[in-house]
Amino acid sequence: MTTNFIGKKSAAAGGWGALKSCGKRLLESGAPLSGARTLLKANQPDGFDCPGCAWGDPEHGSSFEFCENGVKAVSWEATEKRATPAFFAAHTVSALKQLSDYELELNGRLTHPMRYDRASDRYLPVRWEEAFAEIGAILKSLDSPNRAEFYTSGRASNEAAYLYQLFVRLYGTNNFPDCSNMCHEASGVALRQAIGVGKGTVLLEDFEKADAIFVIGQNPGTNHPRMLGDLRRASLRGAEIVVFNPVREKGLERFSDPQDKLEMLHGGSTSIASRYFQPRLGGDMAAVRGMSKAVFAADDAALAAGLPSLLDRAFLAEHCADFDAYRAAVDATSWEAIEDQSGLTRAEIEEAAQVYLKAERVICTWAMGVTQHIHSVPTIREIASFMFLRGNIGRPGAGLCPVRGHSNVQGDRTVGINEKPPAAFLDALEQHFGVAMPREEGHNVLAAIGAMLDGTAEAFIALGGNFARATPDSRLVAEAMGRMKLTVNIATKPNHSHLMPGEVSYILPCLGRTEMDLNSKGQSQLISVEDSMSMVHGSAGINRPASPHLKSEVAILAGIAEATVGNANVNWQELAEDYDLIRRHIEATIPGFEDFNTRLRKPRGFHLRNSAAHREWNTPKGKASFYTGTLPSETVHQRAARGENRFALQTFRSHDQYNTTVYGLDDRYRGVYGERQVIFIHPEDLKALNASAGDRVDVVSEYDDGVERVAKSFRFVPYDIPRGSIAGYYPELNVLVPLGSAGTESDTPTSKSIMVSFRNRRQAA
C-alpha cells in the first residue's frame, strides 16, 4: 500500500483513545509509576503547573483534570532517558545534525553542563563555574551590550524571567526576542489599541455563563485539551459554539470527556461546535466584518419597525470611540468583497450573526489561526469591534479571550520580558534598584535574526526554546547562529538549536517544572506562573532532578549575571537562594503584585486585575476603540487563486507534538500515522493537479526576494479544507516561511499564510 500512512480518524477527541495514548506514553517514558504519581500533582494547589498549555485551572473541583497532551508534556519531562556526556562523546555534532527533531529529543534529559569542542566536533562536560566565567567574560568583551540577543521561551517562571530581564537591563540592553513575537504578539498589540490592555478579559467562570462562544482559528482538541471540557459543559447546557476554522478539526466536532464516567462507559461523545464555518486562510477579518454588517442590517430593521435597538447603545455612548467611523467602514465594505475574501457565503455569515444577536453573553476566543497572518492586528481589532456592538466585554459571561500558548508566556511579558518596555516600568526599576536602565528599544525575534544575519549580533543566549527551528527561514537562521561569538542554551533536552555552535558554545541543563527545586540548605523553592485568564499561581515540582548536576533556571541566570555585571547592585546568589526575595522585587516594581508572597500561597493563587474587564480603558482616547480601517486589499489565498499551481499554506501542529518537540509521528485526530511530511489538500485540488493521495512533491515558497525555499518530498493527504488552502506541520515547513513576510505592527512571521507551489511530483511508489 502506498498510502498506508493515511488511516482512520478518531471518531471523537478525548475518550479511550486519549487514555490509551497516555498509558503508552507513560510506558515509553520508562517511569510508568512515578510518572502516574507525578500526573496527580499537575495543576494541583500543592503541585506544579502543567507545562502543557496556558489554559486556566478551575477555581473549584480539586480532583485531577485529565488531559492527554498534559500527560505527554509531563512524561516527556519526567522520562528516565538521559543525554549524558557519554552520549555526546559518542556522537559528533555533525552526526547529531542528521537526526530529526523527534530522534534528537528522544535521547532524553541533559545531565551536565557542556561546552563545544571544535577540534573533536563534540560537546564535552565542563564545570559550572568555568561556564559562567567564560560567558561573563565574552559578554563583557563585546563592543556594545546591544550586540547580544537574549531569547526567552514562554515556559520560564516569573521568577526566572524577572531575574533575566533585570540582569540583561543592568548589562545594558533591551534585546529580548521572545517566543511571543511568533505567537500572540498581534493579540497584545491589537488589544492594547482597542481596550488598553494586551490580555484577555475573561475568567474561566465566564465560560459557565456565556450563551455563545466563538472559537476562531484555534484547535483546542490538540493544543488546549482542557478547554474542551469547558466547551463541552457549555455545549451541554445549550450554549452555542460557533467555530471558524478552514480545517475540520475533530476536537471541535465531538469530544468524549475522560472525566465523565458515563460517557466513557457508553463510548458516547458530546458535539462541541453547533456551527462550523470554514473560511479560507486569512479570511477571518472579512468574516467578522460580514457579521457586523449583518448585525447593523438587523438593527436598522428593528429600529425601522419601531423596536428597541439590537445594539448596546448605552455601552456605545458611554464607553466607545469611533463607532460612527466603524459603521461607515463596514457600510463601505461590499458583500462581494466579504464573500471573496472570507471564502464564506453571505448566508453563512448571516447565520453566524444571528447566533451573536440571540446571545445575551458572548465570549470570543482565538489563537494562531488569527495571529499568524499579515493582517492579524486589524483582524483582532475587528473582532473587538464586533464584540463592542452589543457590549460583550467587561460583564459576566462575555469578553475577549486570546488563548495563550506556552504555560507562562503571558507571565514572562508581565514581569518584563519586553523589547519595548513601558517607560513606567523602567522608571520603577531605576527607582527601586538605583541604577539607570537602557531606554533604547531592543530587538524582537525578527530584529534579532536581522542582526545575526548582518553580523551586528555576536552573542545569543536562550532561556529555553528552540530558536533556530521555531523561527522562519530556519536554514538561514541556522547559518547565522554558527557565526556567533557565543551561543548559550539553557535547556532540558537537546534540540537542533544546540547543534549550530558558534565560536564558543554552551548547553546548560536546567531543572524542569516537575522537579524539586532545592536551595543549598535543602529548602524547596516555589515558582509562579500566569495563565491565559491572568491567574497567578504557585508551582513546585515533586520529582527528584533528572541529574544531580542540574541547576534551576534562576540559579543559572544568577551565575551568568554575577559573572557579567557583578554584585554591586544586586546580590544574585541571595536571590537564587530564596525566590521570595525575587518576588519582593517584583512586588516593588510591577503593579498588581501587592502581597505577592502571601497571595501566591493561597490554593489557587490570585487574579491580576484587568482594567478592561472593569470597563476602564487605558487607550489613547480613553475609550474602547473601534477599528476604522479597510479589509486588506487582498490575502494570500486571493492572490493564489489568480495563479496556476499556487496555494496558500498554513503550518500547524499535529496531535503528537509540542511546538518543535515531536512526541510521535501520528496525528490520530486527522488520521495520519507514522508520517509528518504531509500536505493536507482538498480532493478537487488534487484532481486538478492530476495527483493522488500519497504522491510526493517538493513544496516551493513563492516569495519575491530571490531566495530559493524548498521543502522536499511531502505527501498529499486529501482533506476537508477549502480549495486553494493547504496545511502541513511546523517545524518541518519552517524553511518555507520567508523572514520578510511579517504581520503589520506585530512583526509576527506569517506562518499561517505562505504562498507556495508544487514541483517535481512523483507518483506514490
Can you give 577-589 as a three-state secondary structure string? HCHHHHHHHHHHH
Q: How far is the CB of 463 from ligand MGD (least distance, A)?
A: 6
Interatomic CA distance for residues 637 and 646, integer angstroms: 9
Interatomic CA distance for residues 586 and 163, integer angstroms: 9
Q: Which residue from 503, 510, 616, 466 is spatially nearest to 105, judged by alpha carbons?
A: 466
Instruction: Candidates 282, 394, 416, 738: give the one binding ligand MGD (CB under 6 A).
Output: 282
Closer of 464 and 502 to ligand MGD (Cβ): 464
Interatomic CA distance for residues 496 and 70, integer angstroms: 23
| Residue list 151-170, contact with ligand MGD (CB under 6 A) | 153, 155
Q: Is 552 left (phi over 0), alpha (psi -120 to 50) or beta?
A: beta
| Residue list 502-521, contact with ligand MGD (CB under 6 A) | 510, 512-513
Q: Per-residue x/- marks for ligand MGD, 10-39, CB under 6 A?
A: ------------------------------
Q: How far is the CB of 367 from Mo ion (least distance, A)?
A: 8
Closer of 273 and 310 to ligand MGD (Cβ): 273
Q: How far is the CB of 731 from Mo ion (least distance, A)?
A: 12
Closer of 342 and 734 to Mo ion (Cβ): 734
Q: If you compute the radius of gyration of the chain from its CA atoms, what whole number of angstroms results? A: 25
Q: How far is the CB of 252 from ligand MGD (least distance, A)?
A: 8
Strand-pair category, 710-718 with 678-681: parallel
Closer of 312 and 685 to ligand MGD (Cβ): 685
Closer of 202 and 624 to ligand MGD (Cβ): 202
Instruction: Candidates 495, 610, 638, 701: give the one binding ligand MGD (CB under 6 A).
Output: 495
Pick the piece of the chain touching Mo ion (CB under 5 A) from 111-119, 219-227, 240-248, 404-412: 404-412
Decide if residue 668 touches ligand MGD (CB under 6 A). Answer: no
The three-state secondary structure class of 75 is helix
| Residue list 299-328, contact with ligand MGD (CB under 6 A) | none
Closer of 292 and 408 to Mo ion (Cβ): 408
Task: Kindly determine how many residues on this chain lie close enough to bind ligand MGD according to the rule CB under 6 A.
Answer: 60
Decide if residue 412 touches ligand MGD (CB under 6 A). Answer: no
Interatomic CA distance for residues 61 and 68, integer angstroms: 19
Closer of 74 and 183 to Mo ion (Cβ): 183
Q: How far is the CB of 618 from Mo ion (least distance, A)?
A: 25
Closer of 256 and 414 to Mo ion (Cβ): 414
The helix (H) or strand (E) run that includes residue 320 is strand 320-321
Residue linked to cell 506514490: 764
Interatomic CA distance for residues 576 and 572, integer angstroms: 6
Residue 627: phi, psi to the nearest 5? -85, 140
| Residue list 94-113, contact with ligand MGD (CB under 6 A) | 105
Q: Where are the alpha helices (DSSP H) in 359-507?
A: 368-371, 376-388, 409-414, 423-433, 445-453, 467-470, 474-481
Neighbours of 681 (CB within 10 A): 26
Interatomic CA distance for residues 176 and 465, integer angstroms: 13
Q: How far is the CB of 763 from ligand MGD (least distance, A)?
A: 28
Q: Per-residue x/- marks for ligand MGD, 575-614, CB under 6 A?
A: ----------------------------------------
Q: Where are the alpha helices (DSSP H) in 45-181?
A: 68-77, 85-90, 93-96, 101-105, 128-141, 158-171
Closer of 320 and 367 to ligand MGD (Cβ): 367
Q: How far is the CB of 751 from ligand MGD (least distance, A)?
A: 3
Residue linked to cell 473587538: 384
661 is in the binding site of which of Mo ion, ligand MGD, none (Cβ under 5 to 8 A by kind)?
Answer: ligand MGD
The helix (H) or strand (E) run that includes residue 557 is helix 553-565
Q: How far is the CB of 743 from Mo ion (least distance, A)?
A: 14
Distances, alpha carbon 321 to alpha carbons 23, 315, 394, 625, 713, in Å: 54, 11, 16, 5, 52
Decide if residue 247 touches ligand MGD (CB under 6 A). Answer: yes
Instruction: Candidates 368, 449, 590, 672: give the one binding ligand MGD (CB under 6 A).
Output: 368
| Residue list 167-186, contact with Mo ion (CB under 5 A) | 183
Decide if residue 405 touches Mo ion (CB under 5 A). Answer: yes
Pick the piece of the chain touching ligand MGD (CB under 6 A) from 179-187, 560-568, 691-699, 705-713: 179-187
Interatomic CA distance for residues 359 and 351, integer angstroms: 13
Closer of 217 and 559 to ligand MGD (Cβ): 217
Instruction: Candidates 286, 349, 490, 542: give the one binding ligand MGD (CB under 6 A).
Output: 490
Neighbours of 372 (CB within 10 A): 31
Decide if residue 652 touches ligand MGD (CB under 6 A). Answer: yes
Decide if residue 179 touches ligand MGD (CB under 6 A). Answer: yes
Instruction: Candidates 201, 270, 492, 552: give the one binding ligand MGD (CB under 6 A).
Output: 492
ω into residue 501 within 30 of 0, thus cis?
no
Neighbours of 643 (CB within 10 A): 11
Residue linked to cell 507571565: 411
In sequence order, what are the residues at sequence separation of 6 or more whose Cβ sits closer than 8 angstroms to the Cβ of residue 1? none
Interatomic CA distance for residues 636 and 652, integer angstroms: 17
Decide if residue 467 touches ligand MGD (CB under 6 A). Answer: yes
Decide if residue 383 touches ligand MGD (CB under 6 A). Answer: no
512 is in the binding site of which of Mo ion, ligand MGD, none (Cβ under 5 to 8 A by kind)?
Answer: ligand MGD
Closer of 183 and 445 to Mo ion (Cβ): 183
Q: How far is the CB of 458 from ligand MGD (least distance, A)?
A: 21
Strand-pair category, 535-539 with 527-530: antiparallel
Q: Per-residue x/- marks for ligand MGD, 134-153, CB under 6 A?
A: -------------------x
Query: Bridge-partner residues for 215, per DSSP?
Result: 243, 365
| Residue list 697-736, contact with ligand MGD (CB under 6 A) | 730, 734
Interatomic CA distance for residues 733 and 181, integer angstroms: 19
Q: Is 587 left (phi over 0), alpha (psi -120 to 50) or beta?
A: alpha
| Residue list 745-764, contact with ligand MGD (CB under 6 A) | 751-752
In sequence order, what are the residues at sequence separation of 6 or more whose Cβ sits closer than 8 angstroms to the Cβ of residue 101? 466, 469, 495, 496, 660, 661, 662, 731
Site for Mo ion, rule CB under 5 A: 183, 405
Chain positions contacting ligand MGD, by CB under 6 A: 52-53, 69, 105, 153, 155, 179, 182-183, 216-219, 222-224, 244-247, 249, 279, 281-282, 284, 367-369, 372, 405-406, 463-467, 470, 490-493, 495, 510, 512-513, 553, 650-653, 657-661, 730, 734, 737, 751-752
